[in-house]
Amino acid sequence: MSYLELNIDLTDEQNAIKIQAHKFAAEILRPAGLELDKISDPEDVIKSTVYWSAMKKAYELGYHNTLMPDSYGGLGLDPLDIHLVFEELGWGSADLALSIGVACFPAFFASMLPNDILEQNIIYPYCQNTDATFVGCWAITEPNHGTDQLCPKTEVFHDPSIKGQLRARLDGDQWVINGQKSAWVSNGPVATHALAYLSLDPAMGLAGGGICIIPLNASGVSKGRALNKMGQRALPQGEIYFDDVRVPHDYMLVDQESYETMVDLTLATANAAMGAVFTGAARAAYEEALKYSKERIQGGKALFEHQIIKHKLFNMFMKIEAARALSRAAMIYNYNNTPPSIQYSIASKVFCTNTAFEVSNEALQMFGGYGLSKEYTIEKIFRDTRAALIEDGVNDSLMLIGAHSL
């Protein structure tokens, strides 16, 4: 189902982008997400042809290149176009939307700091990939450091007693990397390349970090089992271990001099995308509820005809419109301004994921007992949106980080 487009300046091309993304979300992502969600062992998700067919289709259509500049073969989209795409993918299946979205992280960051080696080994091969054999992940959180890793510009980030669990040291013209990342790395189990945020100078605390691309077929890399979790089950997640892993000098994109700024920029970019994806997930929940409310008869008439239900549906509708307005504005501003204003991306992430969870909770309630049944899509959306309150930063903690910029 579509929605009334309030932006009267949307061009024909932007409308076409939205329609195409919706078609892909409805025909590929929604059914694949529902099927993958039912698989009990997440190790089977990553072996499943359903997962790989969905990813391959996304790559074939170029959705893995949503953030990539067109000079390298990316889609070269403007910020509003990016929002249109991410909202639709999130509407289809938030977990798969995120698997596709995070796949570009190594190549996207390499495109900010291009050199010949990165262009040849990372950027072009990623952009030109059409069969999902080049998949990236963002490896930042660690078993002992979740929120800690995501709080640039706070005191915690500079506390020398807090030391990262993934270290890199220079040996000649190579970096040698040891340690591990958390079980929460999205795409961890399926990724071919990691954009790793690691410690270079522990005396500076977590601020003494660097950002490095690590090919995950390098000697010394191993992975944990795919994580079994409550929501977003189609998004493979898992630990990555590094034991004397060597990468070329040029793969370290950022060192401690600018690490904190780049964490800020990363969080601002990722949180803005989360706002768009979960506006879509909220809309998906609302649409399920609206449809059901017109079918289910209680008290001799459709649920929709009962005033309290209408009131609830209108409340959902208002929240989603507000989520779209905020998340579009935050993305357009922050993808147009470098450095970004992180508080707006955080506001978007927190507001939109809260909205998605509140709307899916209300929607599930409207389904009565059936809402708890795995037969109904709303049950999955509810669990997916619950995970979003923790993903990319716990909402409460993100608000404190955002507040530093007020």
Partner 1 sequence: MPVFETTQKMYEVLGNLFKHLANHPDSGPKFREAGIDIHFSITDPEGDIWLTRAGDVICGKLDLKATVEMSLSGDSCHQFWMKELSLPIALAKGKIKAKGPMGKILKLLPILKPAYEAYPDIARNHGIGVS
Ligand X SMILES: Cc1cc2nc3c(=O)[nH]c(=O)nc-3n(C[C@H](O)[C@H](O)[C@H](O)COP(=O)(O)OP(=O)(O)OC[C@H]3O[C@@H](n4cnc5c(N)ncnc54)[C@H](O)[C@@H]3O)c2cc1C
Binding site for partner 1 (CB under 8 A): 67-72, 74, 76-79, 82, 111-114, 119, 253-254, 257-258, 260-262, 265, 335-339
Q: Is 334 or 353 the residue whose CB approaches ligand X more closely?
A: 353
Q: Which does 391 bind (CB under 5 to 8 A by kind): partner 1, ligand X, none?
A: ligand X
- 327, 393, 397, 392: which is closest to 355 by C-alpha? 327
Do 147 and 223 meet the contact criterion of CB atoms below 8 Å apart? Answer: no
Q: Is 2 or 261 the residue whose CB approaches partner 1 more closely?
A: 261
**Full 3-state SS string of 125-171:** HHHHCCCCCCCEEEECCECCECHHHHCCCCCHHHCCCCCCCEEEEEE
Least separation in angstroms between CB 85 and partner 1: 12
Q: Is 44 or 70 the residue whose CB approaches partner 1 more closely?
A: 70
Least separation in angstroms between CB 400 and ligand X: 7
Q: Is 87 or 391 the residue whose CB approaches ligand X more closely?
A: 391
Q: Burial level of 16, CB count in 10 A (0-12/13-18/19+)?
A: exposed
Least separation in angstroms between CB 384 and partner 1: 27
Burial letters for 208-229: b for 16+ Cβ neighbours within 10 Å, e otherwise? bbbbbbbbbeeeebeebebbee
Q: Which does 70 bind (CB under 5 to 8 A by kind): partner 1, ligand X, none?
A: partner 1
- 158, 144, 151: which is closest to 399 by C-alpha? 151
Q: Is 116 or 155 the residue whose CB approaches partner 1 more closely?
A: 116
Q: Which does 298 bind (CB under 5 to 8 A by kind): partner 1, ligand X, none?
A: none
Tell me which residue has its CB nearest to ligand X.
146
Q: Compute φ and ψ for 164, nearest 5 degrees.
A: -65, 155
Q: Is 111 or 186 the residue whose CB approaches ligand X more closely?
A: 186
- 78, 80, 100, 81: which is closest to 89 by C-alpha? 100
Least separation in angstroms between CB 258 and ligand X: 20
Q: For residue 359, what are the contacts with CB-CB under 8 A and spacing of at least 6?
A: 282, 285, 286, 289, 316, 319, 320, 385
Q: Which does 248 bind (CB under 5 to 8 A by kind): partner 1, ligand X, none?
A: none
Q: Which does 336 bind (CB under 5 to 8 A by kind): partner 1, ligand X, none?
A: partner 1
Interface residue list for ligand X (CB under 6 A): 102, 138-141, 146-147, 150, 182, 184-186, 232, 387, 390-394, 396-397
Least separation in angstroms between CB 32 and partner 1: 28
Q: Is 180 or 182 the residue whose CB approaches ligand X more closely?
A: 182
Q: For residue 176, what are the contacts with CB-CB under 8 A and spacing of at least 6?
A: 168, 169, 170, 244, 245, 246
